[in-house]
Amino acid sequence: MSLGIAIGARVRKSPYFDKTLEDGVTSFSVYNHMYMPTGYGDPEAEYNRLINGVAMWDVAVERQVSLKGPDAEKLARYLTSRNLGALNIGQGRYVPICDHRGTLINDPVLLPISEDEYWLSIADSDVLLWSRAISAERGFDVQIHEPDVSPLAIQGPKAVEVVADLFGDWIRELKYFGHREARLNGIPLHVARSGWSKQGGYELYLEDSARGAELWDLVKEAGQPYDIGPGTPNYIERLESGLVSYGADTDDFTNPYEVGLGKFVSLDREDDFIGKQALTEINEQGPRRQFVGYKIEGEALSAGNQHKWPVKDGEVYVGFVSASAWSPRVKSNIGVGLVETAYSEPGSKVTIQTDAADGDLEAVVSKLPFDIPA
């Protein structure tokens, strides 16, 4: 089944859109109302590049929500359950955002840009609207907007060499989620040590969308000695690494405790934050589900998840698989998803109701990340 994507003005193009076409992008999804490349037609090469070399990804869909003004820091703290302690300009943090019911509604990275400006680098939900509603109803003095910022990720074990060649050796000293303002041929951007993989890498937060093509070419050229090639947030690697994909792995009842983010819920904070009361109750009762891996029997799956697959114990629904694939490194079919806590211990046996071609498959719950044999 090969289905087309309609290209129109309601969904935005990335500043790298034309360049991804030039480099042979074959499929897209939509994320934060923007086209997101999802493949270049050679999944094996794209995977190998990320695991062994270096890949460049158009991740402009990681939109920024800028909180700027006297109450920006106060708003940032109120929005997240995490105790942020001292906030240092140039050092980002992963900050789960919940609604008042304690449900996870986004899991951004917070980037302190200056004393009075913070960016939320968001997953796929309208945090711009959410933040504006909260801020206005609270009477906070904050301007909230989406700045012209479009990340380009450079990921893989050789990413550090490419980025060092471009910017200098100082980039080796950045801590994870650390970021610094820089220029490349005059193109304004932030260099951040981050990215949606566990293979290491950087993201260039381009701050002038008119110069997207130029930045793409500069990175591509600098990457030639390291055999850089195009890629996208990688479907298989993220399963192996157990990264949570907001929206795919979550639903309208998922709280941080269910997806391994309990450590970012600081119930002992003295100040209030959204969802504090609900999360206190959820914590007392214990989470109903857990985000786990599944090792799935048999030959390579004929297709990954087009939707959440039911996970069953006999006839009883006990959870779901939200993404699955053959892992070349685990040498097994693997998946991730939420399962009832009673089944969340590694070794629990369950049945996965896949789509037609593969039928029902037996699976064993696994810890995340998956063990990669040497």
Binding residues for a copy of itself, per CB under 8 A?
A: 1-13, 21, 25-31, 33, 38-39, 99-101, 105, 124-126, 129-130, 132-134, 136-138, 145-146, 235, 245, 247-249, 252, 274, 304-308, 322-323
**Min dist. Cβ of residue 61 to a copy of itself (A):** 12
Q: Of 247 and 262, which has the nearer Cβ to a copy of itself?
A: 247
Indicate the residue among 88 and 280 with the shorter CB distance to a copy of itself: 280
What residues contact residue 323 under an 8 Å CB cut-off, 6+ apart?
A: 235, 238, 239, 245, 248, 249, 304, 305, 335, 336, 337
**Residue that has been written with the tokens 């109701």 in this structure:** 353
29 or 91: whose CB is closer to a copy of itself? 29
- State the minimum distance, in angstroms, from the CB of residue 30 to a copy of itself: 4
DSSP class per residue in 208-263:
-GGGHHHHHHHHHHHHGGGT-EEE-S-HHHHHHHT---TTTT--TT--GGGGT-GG
CB atoms within 10 A of CB 250: 23
* Least distance from a copy of itself to the Cβ atom of residue 308, Å: 5
Integer Cα distance of 272 and 289 in angstroms: 26
User: Judged by CB, which is closer to a copy of itself: 43, or 90?
Assistant: 43
- Give whichever of 128 and 350 is closer to a copy of itself, judged by the CB atom: 128
Q: How far apart are CA 177 and CA 175, in angstroms?
A: 6
Residue 10 vs 286, nearer CB to a copy of itself: 10
Q: Which contiguous run of DSSP H or E holds residue 285?
A: helix 276-285
CB of 144 to a copy of itself, least distance (A): 9
Least distance (Å) between residue 185 CB and a copy of itself: 25
When the beta carbons of 34 and 206 are compared against a copy of itself, the nearer one is 34
Strand positions, DSSP E, 40-145: 55-58, 64-68, 93-94, 97-98, 104-106, 109-114, 117-121, 143-145
- Least distance (Å) between residue 221 CB and a copy of itself: 25
SS3 312: strand
* Smallest gap from residue 237 Cβ to a copy of itself (A): 15
